[in-house]
């Protein structure tokens, strides 16, 4: 046999590898050059068995690709280098509960990969659209490939059609919100004409008046103090230093500017915020806000707050992670608490109620508060990708749970020096946590969490999913969804309006539109600051993410984030439980394993968006044998956002969250942390559930 014939298999493998590299690289190879250049795909790294990302020659990462494409580049790389072919991670056993007939074939058939044709047209954007029948809950994401003239043309077409059609869709929503508001506006006008208070039936009307008067007095006092300082004292307007524990003197004041700036609202209550950048394992740059007391903490430098390596939960010797823990001595350390926001919101939702804001309340109680903003947010950032690249937007709730949440937790633990943190999430934040902790995702993440506090947990769908405009998104095909809403960000016109409209007008419109969409009311909110509540939403989200929530394949179809079969039906629960008890089936069908952290639930009784009661029933019926519920509470009169914005949310939610965080804190952390104000000294034992007490607004 000739030498050429002997080298033929390796040569073919090298050619195949180059084709696959070009398919997964940032730019076509004929534009980039050799493998030493920018953004060239090298191999796939499996974050979980079903979540591979692409490593590039310059040490960066490109977002998730379909499993078979990731395995293919690794196989071809090994063949080209004449090494033993590495086997991909085994699919998790937990997937056995999904119906096989719904699978799109995300298996690892090496023979099929080898037999595929070497020449493939990766420039056609239509080839990136996954089939209609896919994995029951997490369909494979589109694979767009590097930019080409044809792909750019297709993207332009999608952006044009999506602009007009999604704008029309938004216009229908706005008109609907205006139309449904007319009776309310007419009622208010009638009360005004008859010299009556139109708000007299609001449950906290007297408290609203009291707070409005206090804000007016504080604005007047701030203006006087500011003029006095400017005229009589040279230097800064900053308050003088005072020992921890005393009243917090504000750094900002006067009339509310209604701006999208968390630091501004923190300074109005005597706190401040510094911004950290966090890199995910697939290359996205996230924003992490750190709330602190400026009288006892000096902010980190810009260098110390920059994004670092995408590798998480590994030793990092760069020396950038000693600043926060060096600020406090043993006995005065603050236990870290991470707060994660809901859909279409930012972490600013935790910071809009002055001292009643959950983030500020926990910080002043003695915790070290960190606020995580999921990918894209107000300013989409990636180490390699740009806004116009559709790969920038090829993600959904799975990537937010598997990539974003671990990146947040890792960075907070690095900065604070603790082994665990407390996690508090609202709505979609609970979804990504429940997804991430599942035994087929990243269950070991539970070992880093002392307690998971879920506010308005979004696991099961509520009746609102059947509304006409949501049903429209569910009945159209995936291809038609992309024609309507594009393959980039979801209705980006909303972000344009956020930037250009005055805060008061935008706040009023935001309330009307979101109230119409989600059946929320401001019944229990402080109406005097209602416009402020909407300054931190919406944010950029991907159309793929919204398709996961509302499209025909995923959450809207199955009405559950981790199950694809009907369960917990009231008329057959006992029969099912008896059957499962006989077959010892609960552990196999459970979503979570022994790594799952203790959980606490606050459920809104009037929540039409999600069904928290169904999740509670699942836990109470021991369908999750490893879940330890340390606190549960159903607040019958609460709607979905009342857990954050109700005027009595501190009494109903905040104080209990503060107590649960303290009681579940690790013993070694409690020894070095300050005593949290307002907490009792008792500590929860394993399996113990907090005593429930009915609370009334004082």
Work out the angle at residue 12's Cα, subtended by the Cα atoms of residues 8 and 15, and round it to the nearest 5 degrees.
140
Please count the other Cβ atoms lying within 10 Å of the Cβ belonging to residue 394.
25
Predicted pLDDT at 329 = 87
How far is Cα 340 from Cα 80, in angstroms, rounded to an integer? 44
Torsion from C-alpha of 555, 558, 561, 563, nearest 10 degrees: -160
Please count the other Cβ atoms lying within 10 Å of the Cβ belonging to residue 607.
28
Which of 253-257, 260-264, 561-565, 605-609 has the least mean pLDDT? 561-565
Is 2 one of the catalytic residues?
no
Contact status, residue 51 vs residue 398, Cβ threshold 8 Å: yes
Which domains does the chain show, CATH number per domain? 3-91 (no CATH), 131-201+238-566+587-693 (3.40.50.1820)
Higher-confidence residue of 248 and 275: namely 275
Q: Which residues, at least 6 apart from 19, have a Cβ–Cβ distance to it below 8 Å?
A: 118, 119, 120
Going by pLDDT thresholds of 50, 70 and 90, the confidence category of residue 247 is confident
DSSP state, residue 95:
G
Rg of the chain in Å (alpha carbons): 27
In this predicted model, what pLDDT tens digit does every residue of 10-36 receive, in sequence order?
677 788 898 899 999 998 876 545 545
H or E element in which residue 498 lies: helix 493-500
In this prediction, residues 248-262 reach a mean pLDDT of 91
Write out the two tokens for 134.
């896919």
In this predicted model, what pLDDT tens digit does every residue of 652-689 receive, in sequence order?
999 999 999 999 999 999 999 999 988 776 555 444 44
Q: Is the pLDDT of residue 554 over 60?
A: yes
In this prediction, residues 391-413 reach a mean pLDDT of 96
Q: Is the pLDDT of residue 408 over 80?
A: yes
Is 290 one of the catalytic residues?
no
Q: Which residues, at least 6 apart from 315, have a Cβ–Cβ distance to it below 8 Å?
A: none
Q: Which residues of 320-358 are buried (b: 16+ CB within 10 A; e: fewer)?
A: bbebbbebbeeeebbbbbbbbbbbbbbbbbbbbbbebbb
Q: At what angle do helices 405-416 and 428-437 cross, to 10 degrees?
A: 90
Predicted pLDDT at 113 = 46
Predicted pLDDT at 238 = 44
How far is Cα 555 from Cα 548, in angstroms, rounded to an integer? 6
Higher-confidence residue of 326 and 698: namely 326
Contact status, residue 369 vs residue 657, Cβ threshold 8 Å: no
Residue with tokens 């056993």: 93
Going by pLDDT thresholds of 50, 70 and 90, the confidence category of residue 314 is confident
Q: Which residues, at least 6 apart from 497, have a Cβ–Cβ distance to it below 8 Å?
A: 506, 509
Is 12 one of the catalytic residues?
no
Of the candidates 346, 427, 537, 543, the residue annotated as catalytic is 427
Q: Give CA separation, 305 vs 194, 279, 372, in Å.
A: 58, 11, 14
Contact status, residue 476 vs residue 154, Cβ threshold 8 Å: no
Q: Backbone phi, then psi, for 657, in 5-degree steps? A: -60, -45
Reference 291, options 226, 218, 219, 370; nearest CA is 370
In this predicted model, what pLDDT tens digit does every residue of 464-473 receive, in sequence order?
888 888 888 8
Write out the two tokens for 87.
């086997």
H or E element in which residue 455 lies: strand 449-455
In this predicted model, what pLDDT tens digit does every residue of 184-215 receive, in sequence order?
777 777 767 777 777 777 888 899 999 999 99
Question: Beta partners for 340?
Answer: 372, 425
Sign of the alpha-carbon dihedral angle for 358, 643, 169, 555: positive
In this prediction, residues 139-155 reach a mean pLDDT of 88
Of the candidates 640, 642, 648, 649, the residue annotated as catalytic is 640
Mapping DSSP onto H, E and C, the string for 170-233 reads HHHHHHHHHHHHHHHHHHHHHHHHCCCCCCCCCCCHHHHHHHHHHHHHHHHHHHHHHHHHHHHC
H or E element in which residue 23 lies: helix 3-24
Q: Which residues, at least 6 apart from 386, have a Cβ–Cβ distance to it below 8 Å?
A: 392
Contact status, residue 102 vs residue 564, Cβ threshold 8 Å: yes
How far is Cα 494 from Cα 370, in angstroms, rounded to an integer? 27
Of the candidates 282, 607, 642, 648, the residue annotated as catalytic is 607
In this predicted model, what pLDDT tens digit does every residue of 163-172 receive, in sequence order?
999 999 999 9
Reference 268, options 245, 289, 291, 288; nearest CA is 291
Mean pLDDT, the chain, whole residue set? 83
Residue with tokens 């070095």: 672
Q: Which residues, at least 6 apart from 182, have a Cβ–Cβ distance to it below 8 Å?
A: none
Give the largest CA-CA distance in the chain: 103
Q: Is the pLDDT of residue 71 over 60?
A: yes
Predicted pLDDT at 684 = 54
Q: How many Cα atoms sit within 13 Å of 650 on the Cβ side? A: 16
Q: Which residues of 101-122 are buried (b: 16+ CB within 10 A; e: fewer)?
A: eeebebebeeeebeeeeeeeeb
Contact status, residue 631 vs residue 660, Cβ threshold 8 Å: yes
Predicted pLDDT at 194 = 75
Going by pLDDT thresholds of 50, 70 and 90, the confidence category of residue 87 is confident
Q: Is the pLDDT of residue 318 over 90?
A: no
Instruction: Please report which residue ranges of 299-404 form alpha helices under DSSP H.
Output: 323-326, 358-365, 397-399
In this predicted model, what pLDDT tens digit does every residue of 282-312 receive, in sequence order?
999 999 999 999 999 999 999 999 998 888 8
Reference 96, options 428, 591, 545, 534; nearest CA is 591
In this prediction, residues 412-416 reach a mean pLDDT of 94
Reference 444, options 310, 591, 596; nearest CA is 596
Predicted pLDDT at 234 = 44
Alpha carbon of residue 186 to chain centroid: 38
Higher-confidence residue of 140 and 346: namely 346
Write out the two tokens for 191.
């009360």
How far is Cα 549 from Cα 559, in angstroms, rounded to an integer? 9
**What are the strands of the beta sheet with 421-426, ordered from one edge?**
272-279, 285-292, 368-373, 336-340, 421-426, 449-455, 599-604, 629-635
């Amino acid at each position: 046999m000739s030498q050429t014939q002997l080298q033929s298999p390796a040569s073919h493998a090298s050619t195949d590898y180059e084709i696959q590299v070009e398919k997964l690289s940032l730019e076509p190879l004929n534009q980039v050059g050799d493998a030493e250049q920018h953004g060239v795909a090298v191999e796939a790294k499996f974050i979980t068995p079903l979540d591979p990302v692409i490593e590039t020659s310059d040490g960066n990462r490109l977002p998730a690709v379909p499993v078979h494409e990731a395995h293919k580049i690794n196989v071809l790389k090994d063949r080209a280098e004449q090494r033993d072919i590495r086997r991909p991670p085994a699919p998790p056993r937990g997937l056995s509960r999904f119906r096989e007939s719904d699978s799109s074939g995300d298996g690892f058939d090496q023979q099929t990969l080898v037999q595929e044709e070497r020449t493939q047209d990766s420039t056609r954007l239509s080839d990136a659209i996954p089939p209609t029948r896919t994995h029951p809950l997490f369909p494979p994401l589109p694979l767009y490939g590097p930019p080409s003239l044809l792909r750019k043309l297709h993207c332009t077409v999608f952006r044009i059609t999506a602009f007009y059609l999604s704008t029309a869709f938004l216009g229908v929503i706005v008109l609907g919100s205006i139309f449904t508001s007319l009776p309310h506006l007419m009622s208010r006008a009638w009360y005004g004409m008859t010299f009556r208070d139109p708000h007299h039936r609001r449950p906290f009307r007297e408290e609203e008046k009291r707070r409005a008067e206090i804000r007016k007095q504080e604005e007047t006092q701030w203006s006087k103090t500011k003029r006095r300082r400017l005229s009589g004292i040279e230097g800064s307007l900053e308050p003088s230093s005072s020992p921890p524990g005393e009243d917090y003197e504000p750094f900002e004041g006067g009339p509310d500017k209604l701006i999208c700036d968390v630091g501004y609202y923190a300074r109005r209550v005597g706190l401040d915020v510094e911004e950290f950048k966090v890199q995910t394992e697939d290359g996205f740059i996230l924003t992490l806000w750190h709330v602190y007391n400026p009288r006892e903490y000096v902010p980190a430098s810009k260098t110390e707050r920059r994004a670092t390596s995408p590798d998480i939960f590994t030793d990092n010797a760069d020396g950038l992670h000693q600043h926060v823990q060096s600020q406090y001595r043993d006995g005065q350390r603050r236990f870290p608490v991470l707060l994660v926001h809901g859909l279409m919101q930012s972490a600013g939702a935790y910071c809009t109620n002055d001292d009643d804001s959950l983030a500020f309340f926990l910080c002043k109680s003695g915790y070290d508060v960190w606020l995580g903003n999921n990918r894209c947010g107000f300013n989409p950032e990636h180490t390699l990708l740009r806004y116009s690249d559709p790969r920038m937007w090829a993600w959904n709730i799975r990537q937010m749970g598997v990539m974003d949440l671990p990146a947040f937790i890792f960075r907070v633990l690095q900065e604070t020096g603790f082994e665990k943190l407390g996690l508090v999430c609202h709505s979609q934040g609970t979804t990504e946590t429940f997804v991430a902790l599942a035994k087929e995702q990243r269950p070991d993440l539970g070992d880093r969490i002392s307690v998971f506090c879920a506010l308005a947990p979004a696991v099961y769908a509520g009746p609102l999913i059947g509304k006409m405009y949501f049903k429209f998104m569910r009945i159209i095909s995936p291809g038609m969804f992309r024609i309507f809403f594009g393959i980039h960000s979801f209705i980006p016109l909303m972000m344009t309006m956020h930037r250009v409209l005055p805060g008061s007008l935008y706040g009023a419109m935001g309330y009307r539109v979101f109230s119409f969409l989600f059946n929320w009311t401001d019944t229990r909110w402080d109406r005097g600051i209602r416009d402020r509540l909407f300054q931190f939403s919406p944010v950029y989200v991907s159309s793929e993410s919204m398709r996961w929530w509302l499209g025909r394949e995923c959450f809207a179809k199955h009405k559950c984030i981790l199950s694809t079969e009907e369960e917990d039906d009231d008329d057959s629960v006992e029969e099912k439980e008896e059957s499962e008890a006989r077959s010892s089936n609960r552990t196999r069908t459970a979503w979570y394993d022994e790594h799952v952290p203790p959980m606490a639930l606050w459920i809104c009784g009037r929540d039409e968006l999600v069904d928290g009661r169904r999740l509670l029933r699942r836990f109470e019926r021991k369908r999750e044998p490893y879940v330890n519920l340390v606190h549960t509470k159903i607040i019958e009169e609460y709607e979905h956002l009342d857990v954050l914005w109700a005027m009595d949310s501190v009494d109903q939610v905040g104080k209990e969250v503060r107590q649960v965080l303290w009681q579940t804190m690790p013993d070694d952390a409690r020894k070095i942390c300050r005593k949290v104000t307002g907490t009792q000294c008792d500590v929860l034992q394993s399996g113990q559930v907090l005593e429930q007490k009915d609370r009334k607004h004082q």
